[in-house]
Amino acid sequence: MAGSLRRSSKRRAMSDINVVPYIDVMLVLLVIFMVTAPMVNPGVVNLPTVGGAKVQSLPPVFLTIDANENVIVRKDGDPVQTLNKFELGAFARSQAEKSAEQPVVLAADKSIKYEVV
């Protein structure tokens, strides 16, 4: 009878993975990277220096293309001329002959196809 009161000494198989060794390895790798990262020499790059840049003395010319594909030329915020797309080439050549350094800002209506711009 005494033998029947004993508990079973059989062990169950562990179905869980023991992740403690993996965590230990990851922490060791983290420490290694933290110690070695400051020792790495970054590559030295010789960057160009900025010289005396010219200040733009000419105000920009604003070209606005409206929904009807007309080009409105503005100087100092005031409309100067309204051109169609065929007259624009001649206007651009005449402006380039006057001052090739004058900046040009182009704005177009969102309904215009990109090919027109």
- Does 95 fall in a domain? yes
pLDDT at 4: 55
- The string of pLDDT tens digits covering residues 60-100 is 888 888 888 888 888 877 778 888 878 888 888 888 888 87
- Place 20 in a pLDDT band, splitting at 50, 70 and 90: very high
Sheet of 78-83: strand order equals: 78-83, 71-75, 61-65, 104-108
Range of the domain at 83: 61-108
- Does 45 fall in a domain? no
Calculate mean pLDDT across residues 26-36: 95
- Does 18 fall in a domain? no
Calculate mean pLDDT across residues 49-62: 76
pLDDT at 106: 87
- Does 92 fall in a domain? yes
Tokens representing 66? Answer: 């409206």
- Does 96 fall in a domain? yes
Residues of the chain with pLDDT > 90, as a percent, come to: 15
The pTM of the full predicted model, rounded to 2 decimals, is 0.48
- Does 43 fall in a domain? no
Number of domains in the chain: 1
pLDDT at 9: 61
Q: Using alpha carbons only, give the angle 25, 31, 36 rounded to the nearest 5 degrees.
A: 125
pLDDT at 30: 97
- Does 87 fall in a domain? yes
